Structure 1
C-alpha cells in the first residue's frame, strides 16, 4: 500500500446519511454505500480487506470495517472527479482502479502544490518570527558523592584531562565518550545542571553540582546563538507539510460537493470482510 493509499484510509472526512439495508440475505452484492449514484458493495470491502498490508491484517474486523468503508467512499469521490470510468467484472480490479485513480489525482495535486514559492512561503510562516536561542555544548563527569566530585575538581585544576577523567571515573552513559553531551538548549537538561551551565564561560569547569542522578562536574565546551535553520535544512519537512495540506484540502473540497449515503450496517457481521466467497 502506498503512502498516498494509507493517507486516504486515515482521512475520515465524509458527511453521510445512513439508509437501512433491505431485509434480505447479505451477499457480495449487498450495497453498503452509494456515492453520487455509484454503488459500493460488501464484496468491494472484502477485497479491500484482503489487500491490506501485513501490519494491518491482525487488526480486528470491527476496527477495520468503518475505516475501509471510509477509504472506499473517499476513493470513489476522487475517482469520479477524474471522469466516467469503465467497470471490469473482477471486483478486486475495481478496487485497484479506484485506488490508482485516486492516488494519481492526489499526486497531481501535491506535485502542483510544491513550488519554490510555496516552499519559501511555508518557510517564512514557520521560521520568520523565530528568535535566536542560546545553545550550549557541554561535557560532564558524574559520580556518586560530593567528595568524589571535589576530588575531580582538584585534579582538573591541577591540569588533568577532562575527557580522560570522564572515561575513567564517570558513572554516566556519556563517560566512554569523554563525558560529551553535545549541543542542547534551555529546558533540555535538569534544572540544577542547566542553571550551572548557564553561569559558565566557554572552557570553564564548574564546582560540584547535585541532581537526582548524582554529583556532576561540568565543563562548558562552547556556546552559541542559534537562529532559524536554512531553508535547505528543512526542505523535506516543508515539502511534506505542503503535500499533506494540499491533499487534505483537495479531499475536503471534493467531499463537500459529494452526495454520500451509507446503509444501516447493523445486520452485517464485520467478520464478513474475511469471507472471500463474497467476491465470487
Structure 2
C-alpha cells in the first residue's frame, strides 16, 4: 500500500514536472517582478494547505508524502516538489472521496500498513539511543578483547596447466626474470593481469596444497611446482606479518550495526515475552491459501 501510494505520487510528480511553467502556475499571471514580496507563513504540522470537500490536507501530510518519494525525486529541490505534492494529495483526496467507504480489501491493507509503520517507528525509537560510546566499547571488548594475533601472508602466483610449464617458469625466475611480468604473460588465473598478486590472506583461506607450500617458504622465496584442482602454481611469498585486533575506529560501523541489531532483538524479545499470544496450528492451513485474493472480500 505504501509503495503503491509512493508510485502514484511519483507518477503525478512526473506529469507535473513535464508541464510547461504556465500550466504549473496556479496563481497570478502577472510578471514576477511586479509581484509584492510574499510573507512567509509560520508552519506547524496542523497548518492547512488545502481543503477538499471539507477534508483538510495539512503540512504534516506533505512532509510524510515527501519522505515516501522514490530516490530520484528525493534529489529535486523542495520548491519544485512542493506544488506537485500538493496537487497529488488533492487528487488522492478526490479519488478517495469518490470511492466512499473503504472496501474490505482496503481496510485490511490499511491495517497491515498501520502495523508496519508502527513497528518501524518502534524500531527507530529503540536504535536511536542504542549506539553510545559505552555500548560500542562494550561490543568491541566482547568481540576483540581476547583476540589472538593472526599470521597473515602476502603472496603471488603464476597458474599454468602443466608441471613442465611451471618448471620452465621457475628456470626463468632463477635466471633473473621478473615474477610479475611472467605472471602477466603466462598465468591463467584471474590475478595474472595484476602480476599474480593475491594480497594478504590467513590460514584457511587458500586450498590446502597451496597453503602448505606458502607456509613452508621464507619471505622472498619461490616454490617448486604446486598442484591443486586449478592447475599448477609457481608461488612467491612476499612477506608475512602478525595482525592483531583492529582498532575500534576501524570496526565502528560494523559494531554500530551489531549494537543496533542487539538492541532491537532485546526489545522485541521483551515485548514478545510480555505479550499474550494465541496461535492455531499452521498444519491445518493450506499454504496455497496465501494466493487466494478472494479471501480479502470475506
Distance 1:103 1:163, change over 3 A: same
Quote the residue 1:123 is aligned against: 140
Quote the residue 2:293 is aligned against: 274
Quote the residue 1:246 is aligned against: 263
Quote the residue 2:218 is aligned against: 201
Number of equivalent positions: 193
- Report the alpha carbon displacement of residue 278 of structure 1 after superposing the two structures with TM: 2.3
Distance 1:274 1:209, change over 3 A: same
Quote the residue 1:234 is aligned against: 251
Higher normalized strand content (fraction of residues): 1
Q: 1:271, 1:92 → 2: CA distance?
A: 14
Q: 1:263, 1:134 → 2: CA distance?
A: 54
Q: 1:249, 1:267 → 2: CA distance?
A: 31
Tell me the TM-score normalized by structure 2: 0.58
Question: Does residue 176 in structure 1 map to residue 193 in structure 2?
Answer: yes
**1:171-199 Cα shifts (integer Å, max 9, x gaps):** 22222221111111011112222122112
- Report the alpha carbon displacement of residue 271 of structure 1 after superposing the two structures with TM: 4.6
Question: Does residue 166 in structure 1 map to residue 183 in structure 2?
Answer: yes
Q: How does 1:1-280 map to 2 (within 5 A)?
A: 90-262=107-279, 266=284, 270-271=289-290, 274-275=293-294, 278=297
CA RMSD of aligned residues (A): 2.7
Q: 1:103, 1:160 → 2: CA distance?
A: 62
- Report the alpha carbon displacement of residue 164 of structure 1 after superposing the two structures with TM: 0.9
| Higher alpha-carbon Rg | 2
Q: 1:187, 1:151 → 2: CA distance?
A: 29
Higher normalized helix content (fraction of residues): 2
Structure 1 residue runs without a partner (length 5+): 3-88
**1:8-40 Cα shifts (integer Å, max 9, x gaps):** xxxxxxxxxxxxxxxxxxxxxxxxxxxxxxxxx
Matched residue SS, 1:220? strand
Q: 2:243, 2:296 → 1: CA distance?
A: 62
Q: 2:196, 2:167 → 1: CA distance?
A: 17
